[in-house]
Amino acid sequence: MDTLDLGTQERIKQWLSTEYDAETRNHIKKLLDEKQSDELTDAFYKDLEFGTGGLRGVMGVGSNRINKYTVGKATQGLSNYLKQSLPNEKLKVAVCYDSRNNSKNFAELVASIFSANSIKVYLFDALRPTPMLSFAIRHYGCHSGVMLTASHNPKEYNGYKAYWSNGGQLVPPHDNGVIKNVNAIQSVTEIKFDRNNENIISIGKDFDDIYIQKNKDLSISPEIIAKQKDLKIVYSAIHGTGITVIPQTLKSWGFTNVHLVEEQSEPSGDFPTVVYPNPEEEEAMSLAKKKGEEIKADLILATDPDTDRVGAAAKNHNGAYQLLNGNQIAVLLVYYVLSVKNKNSELKSSDYIVKTIVTSQLAADIAKNYGVECFDTLTGFKYIGELMTELENARKYLAGGEESYGYLVGDLVRDKDAVNACAFIAEMTAYFKNKGQSLFDVLLDLYKTYGVYHEKLVSITKKGKKGADEIKAIMDRLRNDSPKTLGGVTLKEIRDYDSSTAYHLADNTTSVINLPQSNVLQFISNDGDIISVRPSGTEPKIKFYCSVKGSISDTKEYDTVRSELDKKVDEIMSDIINTES
């Protein structure tokens, strides 16, 4: 134990006290006896903190792990903050959970603690998608909510997404207020574990019908679906919550030819058929693609465990099924919504769309063409939800998304919603098929009109305390010794969102970035290339995003131009990743 730093030692000593159960203490003693210093350090070197997705970590014993004590401490801290912030309110919260191991138990624990704090709890009686929690908060007039999920992380993870009364995840000052209250808890004896069933109300299947109908009301081309009701759709829930409502949602919209990937329909926290339950990954989509090929599907869909992200595949211009990336799906949804509403003379000058700073600029170009404002936010859908709340009485939100496969059409919730997105992706596929076009045909037409935007994301995993230190060192180096060229192209601007400063290299001037502070760097080249670097808020990773642009005068030129852009991206990525190494 002497080899561990003092802070880690102090946390371990606290967890060895009789405040914690015997099973927990025995596990720690075993690690100490076996001199598992790396495991002890990773488990105790810090307390779990809220990131872009809330509280998230590996399940297990320790202050830096997801367990009944860290979940309990977070819930007690949230309860204390609610009472502190809303002293005269009869407090209400909603609690939901996904298919991950221990999610249900954690949800029951969270409900117990809220109820013991005299807070009324609307508790889902079975696993349901994250966006349904956002909807429930608004529907029942709750002041807060909690979703037990680790989204698309590997199976050893779980997490705790905390929401505010607008149905969006916590943003400043509430996130910092909760953290302050959580950190103020010095002993687990301060956590009220004794359940009060009188304060708990069950949310059952009847609520599904309300949510599904509200989504159906958002449909903008129901007459086209009637014509294309036989559209062949393959859907995989990847062992998550999507199976509970997405098949019914697609049916309610009028789609009659939906084929489930049965091997992945059963909810399971072990995710037995995939390495990583993330629809961004080709491997996670492989069974769905196989089924799509068998039935000659028009569209292939798959959602992550808590159903806030969706991946889609369709036939490309060469006749092969190809996974659309997150930027492409976001762009197609924006174009579909704006073009149809424009055709129907429904667009207004106050309408707007939203994307994040690392999402394709093509969405903004399309919006500009239709006279609709496009707002940029920091990475994390909670910032899109925050903007929607700020503008809801003055302007109309139409659509938004982020490159990490999160989208929302209409303002029913304040979070990314894969149920909503699946329905709209299916609807736009039917709409364009009715015009004799595939999604890729539409994408190529957009590239011909606006330019070929090509993006790539590289994530580097750095686990544990050592990894966190390495990620910090990478960001420090890029700030203190910034590259002047990337991929052979001179940089013209460096944006440091942590200091809210843009550095203009040609004339050595600066300007202010009007967004909240965030640990993000962006490098802008003279060619208009945008390279972004940020540590993940939900995983032990540092992420490098690259966006470049080319042009085509004929869609037949796409493959050649795409190949050239691939090379340029690889050169840029090689330069910036070598810079950090």
Angle among Cα 153, 534, 422 to the nearest 5 degrees reads: 45
Please enumerate in sequence order all residues whose Cβ is within 8 A of that of 279, keeping only pairs 6 or more positions apart, or say none. Answer: 152, 238, 285, 302, 303, 304, 309, 310, 311, 405
Return contacts of 316-322, CB within 8 angstroms, 24+ apart. 316/440, 317/440, 317/441, 317/444, 317/555, 317/558, 321/289, 321/292, 321/293, 321/297, 322/440
Query: Distance between CA atoms of 318 and 553, rounded to whole angstroms?
Result: 19
What is the mean predicted confidence (pLDDT) over 47-57? 73
Query: What are phi and psi for residue 415, nearest 5 degrees?
Result: -150, 165
Query: Distance between CA atoms of 396 and 82, rounded to whole angstroms?
Result: 29
Contact in structure between 63 and 11 (CB atoms under 8 Å) = yes
For residues 51 and 416, the model is more confident at: 416
Q: Half-sphere exposure of residue 227, counting CA atoms within 13 Å on the CB side?
A: 13
Q: What is the pLDDT of residues 227-271, one digit of tens each?
A: 999 999 999 999 999 999 999 999 999 999 999 999 999 999 999
Band of residue 579 on the pLDDT scale cut at 50, 70, 90: low
Examine the pLDDT at 71 and tell me if it is beyond 60: yes
Q: Over pLDDT 90: what percentage of the chain?
A: 89
Report the candidate in 153, 103, 151, 152 with the shortest Cα–Cα distance to residue 124.
103
**What residue has token string 């590996």?**
58
Q: What is the pLDDT of residues 413-423, one digit of tens each?
A: 999 999 999 99
What are the structural domains, with CATH classification, of the chain?
1-38 (no CATH), 46-204 (3.40.120.10), 210-450 (3.40.120.10), 452-580 (3.30.310.50)
Angle among Cα 297, 300, 306 to the nearest 5 degrees reads: 155
| Six-digit token string for 130 | 């994250």
pLDDT at 147: 98
pLDDT at 375: 98
Q: What is the pLDDT of residues 86-143, one digit of tens each?
A: 999 999 999 999 999 999 999 999 999 999 999 999 999 999 999 999 999 999 999 9
What's the maximum distance between 2 C-alpha atoms anywhere in the chain? 72
pLDDT at 53: 57
DSSP 325: P
Band of residue 581 on the pLDDT scale cut at 50, 70, 90: very low
Examine the pLDDT at 32 and tell me if it is beyond 90: yes
CA 515 to each of CA 46, 170, 352, 493, 497: distance values in angstroms, whole numbers, following the listed order: 28, 17, 18, 17, 8
DSSP symbols for 104-173: HHHHHHHHHHHHHTT-EEEEESS---HHHHHHHHHHTT-SEEEEE--TTS-TTEEEEEEEETTSSBP-TT
Q: What is the pLDDT of residues 340-391, one digit of tens each?
A: 999 999 999 999 999 999 999 999 999 999 999 999 999 989 999 999 999 9
What is the mean predicted confidence (pLDDT) over 571-575? 92
Q: What is the pLDDT of residues 392-406, one digit of tens each?
A: 999 999 999 999 999
Q: What's the Rg (C-alpha) of the chain? A: 24
Q: Half-sphere exposure of residue 318, counting CA atoms within 13 Å on the CB side?
A: 6
Q: What is the pLDDT of residues 278-294, one digit of tens each?
A: 999 999 999 999 999 99
Burial class from Cβ neighbours inside 10 Å (0-12, 13-18, 19+) for residue 303 reads buried
pLDDT at 537: 73
Examine the pLDDT at 334 and tell me if it is beyond 90: yes
| Six-digit token string for 181 | 């209250």
Band of residue 324 on the pLDDT scale cut at 50, 70, 90: very high
Query: What are phi and psi for residue 130, nearest 5 degrees?
Result: -55, -45
What is the mean predicted confidence (pLDDT) over 431-441? 97
CA 278 to each of CA 236, 306, 539: distance values in angstroms, whole numbers, following the listed order: 11, 11, 13
- Return the amino acid letter for 461: T
pLDDT at 2: 67
Band of residue 464 on the pLDDT scale cut at 50, 70, 90: confident
pLDDT at 465: 81
- Annotated catalytic sites, by residue? 151
For residues 524 and 2, the model is more confident at: 524
Count of other CB atoms within 10 angstroms of residue 580: 17
Q: Half-sphere exposure of residue 303, counting CA atoms within 13 Å on the CB side?
A: 35
Query: Distance between CA atoms of 27 and 39, rounded to whole angstroms?
Result: 12
Q: What is the pLDDT of residues 472-513, one digit of tens each?
A: 999 999 999 999 999 999 999 999 999 999 999 999 999 999
Report the candidate in 48, 59, 65, 61 with the shortest Cα–Cα distance to residue 22.
61
| Six-digit token string for 451 | 């330019």
